[in-house]
Structure 1
Amino acid sequence: MGMATDSAIKDAAPKSPWPKNAWYVACTPDEIAEKPLGRTICGERMVFFRSGDGAPAALEDFCPHRGAPLSLGFQREGRLVCGYHGLVVDCRGKAAEMPGQKVGGFPASRHFATIERYGFIWVWPGDPETADPSKLHHLEWAESPEWAYGGGYYHIACDYRLMIDNLMDLTHETYVHAASIGQKEIDEAPVRTRADDHEVVTSRYMDGVKAPPFWQMALRGAGLPEDSTVDRWQVCRFSLPSHVMIEVGVALAGQGGYEAPDEAKASSIVVDFITPETETSHHYFWGMARRFAVDDHALTHTIREGQGKIFSEDLDMLERQQANLLRWPERRLLKLNIDAGGVRSRMMIERTIAAEIAAEGESPLVEEPISGV
């Protein structure tokens, strides 16, 4: 195994730790059903609400009158009313009216491009004039009746890139999730990593193993014997700006593994939308889309509960990891071949940020090569 430090990442980091001209999950529709939602995304404090036509809207969470957070106000006829002095702004941030005052000359609050798709509200933190809905990845599982989905949300106090590292190297399952999805064969199976211009893929296949507890439950849900010997797979796919989709599953041994027919396997996609908040915190929208027993709503609930517990274990580990990194900022972390997926994902992020900086006419810092992975 090769080994190197990550000084190239830390010492050559571009100005911003995240791409700005990209779509991030901001919230779920229920979060803005009754009142505005204040949320910091990519370092920008935003307020989300429904405009007059029902479409989602996002503004800078700052009232142009006295600087109060607009998210502390309320919605009225598709506009936001500031909860401090009653200034009304529209979905483009323009001051519309205020009791007893003339506000037509007020500067407009900054607005952000938003779209609603796949069961989420998405926001583009960069220049709204460059926001292109076609750049949002197509998610078949969110539109097809052949899939069922259940998920949730965690706020996690760590750099969003630490979560990407975590998801692109599932070796930790053996230790962090020993009671649910971990097993020793994960450590023993070879890891393969490849990358192109659009994604980084890390894969691991385990043949002839016993299913761990979570997958025994999934086998039962799929109508298959839970004590069967199975072939198991994990295919982690990172795509910009910070999304990780993980194809996971088990199939009855000898039926083709990943390629087995649906009736011989329990297969799913672990959905991970990782939205940066600050340099040491992020919003984590997690879930699982599955292709078996799609009409079994009780199973959806059971899987969501189990998955939520698993991700809470990650939350605890990652927040403690972040605290350690802040406590000892001079320490340089070590890399092994199992870290290749996370390292390549970070490099893709850095290249994208550098391209954005160059497009703005600034001189990006040069990325140094990282060896040993």
Structure 2
Amino acid sequence: MTNAASASSTGSAPTWPVNAWYVACTPDEIEGKPLGRQICGEHMVFFRNGEGNVAALEDFCPHRGAPLSLGFIQDGALVCGYHGLAMGCNGRTVGMPGQRVKGFPPIRTYPVVERYGFIWVWPGDAEAADPAKLRHLPWAQNDEWAFGGGLYHVACDYRLMIDNLMDLTHENYVHASSIGQKEIDEAPVKTRIEGDEIVTSRFMDGIMAPPFWQMALRGAGLPDQQLVDRWQICRFSLPSSVLIEVGVALAGHGGHEADNAHKASAMVVDFMTPETTTSHWYFWGLARRFAVQDAALTNTIREGQTKIFAEDLEMLERQQRNLELHPERRLLLLNIDAGGVRSRMLIDQAIAAGQAGQAPADQRSVAAV
């Protein structure tokens, strides 16, 4: 299935690659029940069969068109909540009380992979879906890391969130009471191509840690009122993820390269899954390498992140509405926007390549931007 075909369900031009793996949900969301979710303009339903395997079907009962996500799981099949038609993982009907339905034509299925604590879906050409194309996330399979996160539904184009995450200058304004500080504005920003990633980095040496990182230092058993070296390294990769290396180290111990005994470091995890052209599912979290056995600290950090991300949501959703009200306005670009601009170029290349039935263009082609 091409990008253009997928976009037709949204009634507008495609703004996302479809031949890619997207986070669809977390395992707890399909615990004992089906989950309906719109992804890249497609209405899907996710569930586990009797063997515990995850399946994804189009959310459409072939009998009367009811959403299968309003049904239930029985004997490993997905049973429609309208008239009881049972569907198998392969998209074929397996039974219905008092009726002969096994000759019904199958409905569409989507490739799925369960890995790294998430369930991933491939909304494009099923024959092109290769689990090997799923980006490796080493922190998700390492006992030296602890992870806590959540999910937001955000009423804005997923690319606005990518812009937001690839330019952390806004922290000094949107997040002034938690992670913002004036040194963010003052530190130079560098943007580069690194393999198949767009990388934006900022380093701040010899500063006082802001409130969130003071809390993290205490959690790591380190003093919170000493000068620190702070870093932010944002990495965008297709189709729509941003992983951000963040942390602080006691000044004079090597900054980003400091031994773990002298720093509190983490990976901010951001997966943006398009829903429509003006909304997306935002799977977020923080994987840390200090006090990994401290469950209370995981909850404290999750609560802190929840407040930080909630501050972003109002800004982004209001930004989306403004852009819809003024589609003729040309937005201005500064050097701090380079990470977002280059990330969008990769997305556009992947969309174009998908429409042409090709692999995405070499990432190095955007290096001169």
TM-score of the two chains, using structure 1 as the length reference: 0.92
Asked whether the 8 Å contact 1:219–1:226 carries over to 2, the reply is yes
Q: 1-side partners of 2:174 and 2:368: how far apart?
A: 25
Q: Tell me the residue number matched to 1:4.
A: none
Corresponding residue for 2:89? 91
Residue in structure 2 matched with residue 181 of structure 1 by the alignment: 179
1:17-37 CA distance string (max 9 Å, x none): 111111111111010002100
1:275 aligns with 2:290: no
Q: Return 5+ residue gaps in structure 2 as ranges.
A: 1-11
Q: CA deviation at 1:231?
A: 0.4
Query: Residue in 2 aligned with 1:6?
Result: none
Q: Is the Cα contact below 8 Å between 2:192 and 2:367 reproduced in 1?
A: no
What residue in structure 2 maps to residue 331 of structure 1? Answer: 329
Q: Do 2:191 and 2:200's aligned partners in 1 also have CA atoms closer than 8 Å?
A: yes
Counterpart residue number, 2:5? none
- Mapped contact 1:149–1:290 kept (Cα < 8 A): yes
Q: Distance in 1 between matches of 2:181 and 2:69?
A: 45
User: Counterpart of 1:335 in 2: which secondary structure?
Assistant: coil
Residue 117 of structure 2: aligned partner: 119
Paired residue secondary structure (1:237): strand
Report SS of the residue matched to 1:20: coil
Q: Are the equivalent residues in 2 in contact too, given 1:335–1:372 (CA < 8 A)?
A: no
Deviation at 1:371, TM superposition (A): 12
- Please give the alpha-carbon distance, in whole angstroms, between the structure 1 residues aligned to 2:93 and 2:127: 21
Deviations 1:131-152 (A, max 9, x none): 1111111111111000000001
| 1:279-290 to 2 correspondences below 5 Å | 279-290=277-288
Contact 1:272 1:287 in 2 (8 A): yes
Rounded Cα–Cα distance in structure 2 between residues aligned with 1:143 and 1:134: 16
1:160 is matched with which residue: 158, 161, 177?
158
RMSD across aligned C-alpha pairs, in angstroms?
Answer: 1.7
1:372 Cα deviation from its structure 2 partner: 11
Q: Could you tell me which residue of structure 2 aligns to residue 11 of structure 1?
A: none
Per the alignment, residue 198 of structure 2 pairs with 200
Unaligned segments of structure 1, at least 5 residues: 1-13
AA of the residue aligned to 2:322:
N
Residue number among 245, 248, 251 corresponding to 2:243 in the alignment: 245
What is the CA-CA distance between 1:104 and the residue it aligns to?
Answer: 2.2
Percent identical across equivalent pairs? 72
Higher relative CO (CA 8 A, sep ≥ 6), structure 1 or 2?
1
Match of 1:217 in 2: 215
Give the Cα–Cα distance (whole angstroms) in 1 for the partners of residues 254 and 177 of structure 2: 27
Distance in structure 1 (CA, Å) of the matches to 2:14 and 2:296: 43
Shift of 1:15: 3.7
Dislocated runs of 4+, deviation >2 Å:
369-373
Given that residues 342 and 366 in structure 2 are in contact (C-alpha distance below 8 angstroms), is that contact kept between their aligned partners in structure 1? no
1:338 and 1:318 mapped to 2: Cα distance?
Answer: 17
C-alpha distance in 1 between matches for 2:140 and 2:165: 21
Paired residue for 1:234?
A: 232
